[in-house]
Every structure is written in C-alpha cells, then in structure tokens.
Chain A
C-alpha cells in the first residue's frame, strides 16, 4: 500500500485550471521531488494533499485511507501530514519553544511536560536548543525555516510536505536547511518536496516528477530525468535552469 496516492486530482481557481489530473504515489520512506516552473502547480498540489485546498475532482489516499472523502476529520488528517512553507509562517508572537509545542499541546493534546520534552529533543537535534526562548524575528531565515521544520516534525507526521523551503532564503543560508532535509531523508522520512534546488533533488530524491501546466509530464529516477529527459518540455526547462547556473 502506498504511503500517499493521488488519483486524477483536479484543482481550479476560478477559470484558472492549476491541476489538470495528477496521478502520483509515494511509497513508505520515499522522497519525491516536484520540479517545474513557477505556476506549474507544485505548491497547489502540496496544499491539496494537506487539505488546505479542497479538490474539484479526484481523490487522495493516505496509507490507503481516502482523506478527501466527505465528512472526514480534516484536523485529524492534518496531524498526520506535516507541511513546511516557503515563507516559514512561524507564529511571531510565540517563542521558538512555544511555536514547536503548540501543535503537540493543542492538536495532539499532550501534557506540557511531554510536549516540551519532545520539542526540546528536536530543537537540540537540529542545533536550535539555545534559541528556544527567542522570538522568530530575532532568528536568521535559515534558523526560522529550521524551526518551521521542527514544528512540523513535533507532530510526528507520517508524511512531510516541503513547499520550496529554501526559496525565500539568502544563498548562504540554503545549505543549513538542506542539511536538515538530507538528514530526514536518511532517517527514512516520507517526503514530497517542491523545489528549485535541482542539485539537491538529484541527490536526495528517489524519484523526480516534472510538473508542467498542471500535469506530471515526466517522472522517474533523478539520473534519468536530469541526464536523459524524454520530453522536450522537460529538456527545455532543464536547459533554462542550467543557463541560470542552478544545476
């Protein structure tokens, strides 16, 4: 059984059809990278999986359970799927520790001590222990994004969605965030990653999907997609990336 399966997913915003029938499945411990130009539907796809956007058609299954059916407890589903956003979206009025503890405390209903222990363990593991009492706006972008990842991990999700998590960072801060994701991949976290970091995708992904105009145009192992793309549009996209010096 797949950890995640999308079947014929359609999503429009008004007249703009963003996803035009996406079929995709992830196995347990698999890392799949979504690549493609801005506006190809990567972020929308991730937001649909986390039920932040309702589908127009199609269905999504998490470990065989359809999470897009009517009457599903979305809060319960979202507890099992973590998402990290491009712009961090940390809660600015809470310290780092409280940011991380909020989900476990209020959604998982853990006791204070247990939630705090869980948060501190994760913050320590990612080198953020000394930042526990700081407010997000005192942290660098890289630190903020690492806190956002820790915040998602504190829920112990079965699946982690990463939405261009390094795109808002200064170049010198990208590495520390990618290291965290690399470590998660090695630890067996199932991840669906929308990214512009092609070198990184090549390194960590078990599979790469090229999204174009709301469809998965081509998918396969990274060597195949990056070295021998079959589709002309994939080739075009990768050529532009190479020209921009990003691969």
Chain B
C-alpha cells in the first residue's frame, strides 16, 4: 500500500512525459514492454496488409496509385514545384506570427476606451475562421489583380499568400489569446507593481509565458498552413499539388499524388518532432531538479 502510494506520482509524471513525446516513449515499460509493442505492431500491420491485398480491387488500385515508376519519374518535377509551397509557407508564417500577435494583443486591451479595437479584433477572428480558405484564396487571387491598381502586385501567388495570412492569423490570434489568458493576473500585477507600463508587462512578463505555453497548438496551425499551401494551386499556379495533378492527367495514374504527399509529410512530421524536442528541452531546463511545480 505504502509502496504504491510512493510510486504513483512518479508514474503520473512519467505518463505525462510520454504523452508529451507523442505517446511513443516506451522508457517506462522496459525491455518487455518494447517486445510486446513490437509484436503487437507487427501483428496489426500483417492483418491490415492481408486484408487490403486480398480485396478484389487491389490489383487495379495498386497499379493506379502505387506504380513505382509513376512515383519516381514524377517525383523530381513535383519536388521542384514543392519549393514554391515551402516558400509560401515560410513567408506567410512569419507574417502570420506577427499579425496574429497584434490582433491577440488588441483583443486583450482592457477598459472601455479600447472597445472599438477589441470589437474589431473579435469580428476579424470570427470572419477569418468562418470563411472557407479556398474561397478567400480564389477571391483575392483572381479578384485583387483584376483591379489593376497602381503599385499593387498582380502576382496570384502574392495574393494567395495574403489570403493565407488573413485566414491563419484568425486561428493563430485565438491560440495566442488562450495563452495570454492562461497567465495568472498576479503576474501582471507583479510587473506593474515594479512600475512597468502595461506594454512592457506584456512584452517581458506575459507574452513570454503565454507563447511558451501555446507552442504545441501553434505548431498545429503551422502544419495546417503547410498543407493549405496546396490550395494556391487552384489559381493555376504551378506548385506541388498542381504539378502532381498535371502528371496524373498525363499518365492516367495517381502515383504523382503519392509523390506530392511524401513531400508534404517530409516537412510536417519533422516539424512535429522538433516541437516535442523544444518542449522537452524547456521542461528540462526549468525542472532540472525533477521537482514538479
């Protein structure tokens, strides 16, 4: 009884840790646990593979989707087109992180004076999250260049990027806001009591804590954005998805789609693992003693 009571907190911390690492950590279970995990995974995969390969349509699906030649022959072309996806992703993400933070801060302003700004921020996030991304991209991508305004870029990629920034800023602003609200008011009181202005309290005390707490959900939105760069292809721009569609139409097979999917995953999965590393490092640094505050 006593020993169980002693062990439980350790196990809970351990469980929390392994959840943070994506639930893949087997450290707590030891060698026997690893063996069981391997065995059950192998069994599971066998069942799936057998079930699929025994299905009546499998030979045809195999030919159309998994033609090795189709995948490898289209891959270089799609990879070249994919560079555009990555560029859009990186550039947009920078603007989103800044713009969304501005919106979140506006929304957290106190007092009646700032009501119009708060209202504006709320309306913005509602709209940005309410309209389908593909619609915004079509509206801006086709509409904005058609205005033929002086000094405004006419590139569809540019306007599609603007659309992505507008939409994703709505989501990311909400993530930031959740982070800001999770910081206890006593932290602001402590900062203000030192004579710091509200802006400085936000900058040095509240935002650093808020952002740290929302890194995982922020990454979620990063991954979503990386995938949604494919929507730019709907404007006729040659990026990975559009290129794979062209290849699919040329070969009457879908291997090129698989090639494009591999490219997307090659970015998003390392991104996910990278965040886990960041989180774990932050935890280790702050709790090197093992004490859980």
Interface residues of chain A, those whose CB is within 8 Å of chain B, are: 47, 50, 52, 75-79, 81-83, 85, 87, 89-93, 102-103, 106-108, 135, 137-138, 151-152, 155
Contact = CB atoms under 8 A, between A and B. Distances in A.
B22 interface: no
B197 A75 contact: yes
Interface stretch (B4-12, B222-230, B232-240, B284-292): B284-292
Q: Which 10 A-B pairs have the closest CB atoms?
A: A79-B195, A103-B194, A137-B293, A107-B195, A89-B190, A78-B195, A83-B193, A89-B186, A75-B195, A93-B208
Given A106-B204, A138-B288, A91 B187 contact: yes
A107 B208 contact: no
Nearest to B286: A135
B286 A107 contact: no
A151 to B, nearest CB: 7
B194 A137 contact: no
Given A93-B209, A137-B286, A137-B287, A75 B186 contact: no
Given A89-B186, A138-B289, 17 more contacts: A50-B193, A75-B196, A76-B195, A78-B192, A78-B194, A87-B186, A90-B190, A91-B190, A91-B204, A92-B209, A93-B209, A102-B194, A106-B200, A106-B204, A107-B200, A137-B286, A137-B293
Q: Is the interface of B mostly helix, strand, loop or mixed?
A: helix
A150 to B, nearest CB: 12
Contacts of A93: 208-209, 212
A101 to B, nearest CB: 11
Interface string B163-201: 000000000000000000000001101111111110010
B205 interface: yes
A108 B186 CA distance: 21
A103 B193 CA distance: 9
Interface centre among A52, A77, A93, by most B CB within 10 Å?
A: A93
A89 B186 CA distance: 6
Contacts of B190: 85, 89-91
5 contacts: A47-B189, A89-B190, A93-B209, A108-B195, A135-B286
Nearest to A88: B190
Contact of B187 (A82, A89, A107): A89
B205 A91 contact: yes
Nearest to A81: B193
Contact of B196 (A82, A85, A102, A137): A102
Nearest to B194: A103
Given A89-B186, A135-B286, A79 B291 contact: no
B61 to A, nearest CB: 52
Given A92-B209, A137-B291, A137-B293, A52 B186 contact: no
A107 B186 contact: no
B196 A103 contact: yes
Contacts of A77: 195
B247 to A, nearest CB: 49
Nearest to A104: B194
Interface in B246-293: 285-289, 291, 293
A167 B224 CA distance: 47
B200 to A, nearest CB: 5
Contact of A52 (B187, B189, B200, B289): B189
